[in-house]
Structure 1
Amino acid sequence: MRKSLVTLAVLSTLAPFSVNLHAANEAPVALDLLLRGGTVYTGDSDTPVVGDVGIAGDRIVFAGKAAPTQFTAKRVIDATGMVVAPGFIDAHTHADADLHSSDPKKRLNIPFITQGVTTAVIGNDGFGGFDIAAQAQKLRAAPVGTNVAMYVGFGPVRMSELGEANRAPTPEQLEAMKKRVSQGMCEGALGLSTGLFYTPQNFSKTEEVIELAKVAARHGGLYDSHIRDESMYNIGLKGSIDEVIRIGHEAKLPVHVAHIKALGVDVQGQSGDIIKRIEKERAGGLDITADHYPWTASSTRFSAALLPPWANEGGRAATLQRFDDASQQERLRKDMRENLRLRGGPETILFSAGSTKYVGKTLADVAKASNADPVDAAIAVLRDGDLMIASFNQSDDDVRAFMKRPWVMTSSDSSLGHPRAYGTFARKYDQYVVKEHTISLAQFIRGSSSLTADTLGLKQRGHLRPGYYADVVVFDPARYAAKATYTQPTLLSEGVTTVLVNGQLAVDGGKPTGVGAGQPLLRTPKPGSCGSAG
């Protein structure tokens, strides 16, 4: 037995901020770790308490004022002057490849844990597989640095039946897709994630998505979406928010807007209207939330940003053929020129990862160097291969407006070549809590921990409560800041001194320990919902 019955009894009786609950003659209880004298935010209250957090095994024993006298600790960490908070939960990452990597160092998720992130959500934008049990087994077999929660991805589900075709599924194909969503839900997925902006997911009609979302609802899951249009590419930002709301109502499940933003010149300034629309639905009873990242540049593949969906149909080989088809050039260039205008022009597109021939240059730089029209330069780049870009397309006012809402949580939407993988949580604190006072420290912590855990249904996570898992971050409020930039996107953040994942030290004295204590966090399906495959 890992811990004594005395410890288990303490877990069941202590309450947050409790002191002196035990008689003086009780036997001493040994803790593995005591975080002493920090400014403790439990995730439950916006008012901190200067006190202690006691940990035994993988659980929190108490979080409150001063440690009761009967407790002793194998190790004490002085947290005086530090902020002690629930480990941060990144609601939207693309850390899938690193977490499943054969490289043990990549699996440690060091860019995340050095910011205090103890749980990473993967499978977002509809990219996650429906093989949740197999992914979980892999995560258990090869140690990872953070906990991992997973979505079923609409992309693999749809492609399993339709490939990259631009058509609706037959009734038989739709039924097969529903069974795959059900499989993923029964194996512990959070819900269904879609990326309706991306080919081939953007070939789907709303009705198709609703049918799959109903499956997630039946199992007690939620619907997470990179909405169909964050700009004015097709149905527009407002139309896309309406689509998410419709899916929530008709499928009868909570819905979540991934990396909420107003992208591009035609929709900048619409945050106020979007917030009013969402809050009207929330007041009417729809459970709708969102996540965001604190950067004005988004990141995606160059092909997704500039090519119209029809030009991406069939994959890269088909796209390259269209580049050489004289009959399609007028339409192709017209659509690309409009997409470039929406994003603010060639100066706003920075090549961030991929071919070193282009990384660090803007599309305007490339066009100027080759004395070419920006669209012709873009096609030349795409002939060489696809790249990741940083696309400067948002206003700081919109970023701030979304950030302030109590239903918006923090996410990195981590991607190659963008500093958000290495600095999102640290930047949000340093820029918007310390420098600008846009949000309070308590808002930052809640939106990075307890709100996320409660929204996603991550049980016994996101709060510093007795009996909860010991996912904890300690950071120096004077030093916690991002170092990564758009030109140096892989600099680790500073100021985090201690991170515990399931009670084990992942960061100690400001340095990663190399311990991989993360676990797959599988959601329990609704009772009785997994009696059949469909």
Structure 2
Amino acid sequence: MDIRGLKNKVRAAVATAALTTTPFLAASAAEADLVLKGGTIYTGTDAPFVGDVAISGDRISYVGKKAPGDAGRVIDAKGLIIAPGFIDTHTHVNGMLGGDDATERLVLPFMMQGVTTAFIGNDGYGDPDTGRLLGAAATRPVGINYATYVGFGAVRSKVIGQDDRAPTAAELSEMKQLVASAMCSGALGFSTGLFYAPQSFAKQDEVIALAKEAAIRGGIYDSHIRDESSYTIGLSVAIDEAITVGREAGMPAHIGHIKALGVDVHGQAPAIIAKIEAARAAGQIVHADQYPWSASGTGLSASLLPRWAEDGGRAAMLKRFDEPETLARIRPEMRENLRRRGGAASLLITSGPDDLVGKTLEAIAKESGAEPIDAAIAILRRAQVGVASFNQSEADIAAFMKQPWVMTSSDGSIGHPRLYGTYARKYAKYVKADKVISLRDFIERSTALPSSAFSLEGRGTLKPGGFADVIAFDPVTFAPRADYAQPTLFAKGIRTVIVNGRVAVEDGAPTGIAAGRALARTPKAGTCL
């Protein structure tokens, strides 16, 4: 089922739901509003067992073999897996959550694969106006819970713009104030995307200075590291940098979508794992997230252009294309970046002009009779386009996935099937088919691990008193339907999704209920005066 096919139906449900947003109320102290009965329960921390989960209002009231008393409503979960709602720690769904369309704000691509909480503002893109982002849910209901980072890219762009230079003392002070203010308004931490311009122009000491503002207030450092491949400093040194920033700033370091990207670094996963394990053994808090796809999602410019060619933004980039001598410098560096990513056949256009979407750079080059680099430059002259970049090895993916400190994430964005199918794919491919990890590990690293790592109190586990974010899925049929050719198909096999005690998916179909909440992080006491 495609999201477009449900739009009108869900709109009507949203309108109805808006009139009935009062949480369930138990008829008596002994009764629950809702019981999921007879499923195999994975609490997020305990061995699985068959039993019941009872919900009263927005909280879990019972987890065990048999719920006591009566219930206002019973959902038969026999043969299903009951688990906490999945927590996606790295996404790009801020546009959906903050949009004008009530259906889009349900974030059905996530909900229909069991995600009940998402983090936004990753890769340094988090708007420093955290209060506005978190406050919007009060008047514009959303389908899932969300937390947000304050982003280095957004902060640096606001103060310095797109230029390749160090900040002045006054500019650094202004950026610090923006980070501090965002943290005091409920930001989860400080995120960076050091691979991307203009963040790539910053030296490590600038990053540490801003990260400290988040650390003082209890935040976490989240990083799309400076190099996941061999573009500049290399994967290993980039991991060192992320660990150093966390250590010097005095905060947990989280590595976003950990990977070994490109042919030059395939096989380096064991060495990277050893490096992180050494930091953890030395007492530092370091963890990571990962999506279960061999193709990353990024922009064509980020994939192929040298960062210096983006100094000053898009207008400056286009001007460089028009300067023969400068273009002569750019082309060989683009050619090397294309080699590093596996060639023109490995780049699939996922967003941009309609006549390009769904085609590889190789196919576009053949159609135009140009070599791939010239075809890429012609595309970049037209528009900024997104690509799926097939650049990872299955051996590295599996090695990272097995680590107990690596949680699940989607990096969900338009045009890539990971927006619609990440959790279903991880289960279907890496749990059932390839047996890389167990079902229990999959669930715990998608729920309790992120909840614990990011201090999401009352979420990520099925425990009495916790928030009732609960899912039930069919272990036989849970699987993705989205692929690179059709990236907007809902996953199959999710039967029930409950968000804050309200049924958001029933019998495998969305109800239109928008029960999500903005999750503001409480800053450390005494740090926000």
Instruction: Report if aligned partners of 2:23, 2:502 keep a CA contact under 8 Å in 1.
Output: no
| SS state at 1:491 partner | coil
Structure 2 gaps, min length 5? 1-21
Shift in Å at residue 44 of structure 1? 1.4
Instruction: Report if aligned partners of 2:24, 2:501 keep a CA contact under 8 Å in 1.
Output: no
Shift in Å at residue 354 of structure 1? 1.2
RMSD, aligned CA = 1.3
Could you say if the C-alpha distance between residues 263 and 349 of structure 1 is closer, same or farther in structure 2, counting changes exceeding 3 Å?
Answer: same
Tell me which residue corresponds to 1:119: 117
Tell me which residue corresponds to 1:398: 396
Equivalent residues in 2 for 1:71-90 (5 A)? Answer: 71-90=69-88
Give the Cα–Cα distance (whole angstroms) in 1 for the partners of residues 520 and 362 of structure 2.
46
Give the Cα–Cα distance (whole angstroms) in 1 for the partners of residues 156 and 487 of structure 2.
33
Q: TM-score under structure 1 normalisation? A: 0.94
The counterpart of 2:350, out of the listed 349, 352, 369, is 352
State the AA in 2 paired with 1:59.
Answer: R
Shift in Å at residue 3 of structure 1? 8.4
Tell me which residue corresponds to 2:461: 463
Tell me which residue corresponds to 1:56: 56
Instruction: Report if aligned partners of 2:85, 2:497 keep a CA contact under 8 Å in 1.
Output: yes
Give the Cα–Cα distance (whole angstroms) in 2 for the partners of residues 267 and 469 of structure 1.
42
Shift in Å at residue 62 of structure 1? 1.2
Matched residue count: 508
| SS state at 2:495 partner | strand
Is 1:292 aligned to residue 290 of structure 2? yes
Is 1:66 aligned to residue 66 of structure 2? yes
The counterpart of 2:370, out of the listed 351, 369, 372, is 372
Deviations 1:276-333 (A, max 9, x none): 0001111111100000000000010111111111111111111111101012122100
Tell me which residue corresponds to 2:512: 514
Deviations 1:61-87 (A, max 9, x none): 01111112xx21000001011000000
The counterpart of 1:92, out of the listed 77, 90, 100, is 90
Deviations 1:347-371 (A, max 9, x none): 1011111111211111111111222
Tell me which residue corresponds to 1:488: 486
Deviations 1:84-106 (A, max 9, x none): 00000000000000100001111
Tell me which residue corresponds to 1:268: 266
Shift in Å at residue 223 of structure 1? 0.1
Tell me which residue corresponds to 2:243: 245
Tell me which residue corresponds to 1:220: 218
| SS state at 1:389 partner | strand
Deviations 1:160-211 (A, max 9, x none): 2101111111111111111110111111111000000111011000000001
Give the Cα–Cα distance (whole angstroms) in 2 for the partners of residues 223 and 192 of structure 1.
5
| SS state at 2:369 partner | coil
| SS state at 2:326 partner | helix
Give the Cα–Cα distance (whole angstroms) in 2 for the partners of residues 310 and 192 of structure 1.
25
State the AA in 1 paired with 2:62.
Answer: F
Give the Cα–Cα distance (whole angstroms) in 1 for the partners of residues 23 and 485 of structure 2.
48
| SS state at 2:39 partner | strand
Give the Cα–Cα distance (whole angstroms) in 2 for the partners of residues 349 and 44 of structure 1.
40
Give the Cα–Cα distance (whole angstroms) in 1 for the partners of residues 138 and 292 of structure 2.
32
Instruction: Report if aligned partners of 2:59, 2:467 keep a CA contact under 8 Å in 1.
Output: yes
Instruction: Report if aligned partners of 1:28, 1:72 keep a CA contact under 8 Å in 2.
Output: no
Give the Cα–Cα distance (whole angstroms) in 2 for the partners of residues 229 and 213 of structure 1.
19
Give the Cα–Cα distance (whole angstroms) in 1 for the partners of residues 163 and 381 of structure 2.
22
State the AA in 2 paired with 1:35.
Answer: L
The counterpart of 1:473, out of the listed 457, 471, 474, is 471
The counterpart of 2:131, out of the listed 127, 130, 133, is 133
Give the Cα–Cα distance (whole angstroms) in 2 for the partners of residues 526 and 319 of structure 1.
42
Tell me which residue corresponds to 1:257: 255
Question: 4+ residue runs of structure 1 moved beyond 4 angstroms?
Answer: 1-4
Q: TM-score under structure 2 normalisation? A: 0.95
Instruction: Report if aligned partners of 2:24, 2:33 keep a CA contact under 8 Å in 1.
Output: no
State the AA in 2 paired with 1:197.
Answer: F
Tell me which residue corresponds to 2:524: 526
The counterpart of 1:320, out of the listed 303, 310, 318, is 318
Structure 1 gaps, min length 5? 8-26
Tell me which residue corresponds to 1:178: 176
Tell me which residue corresponds to 1:34: 35
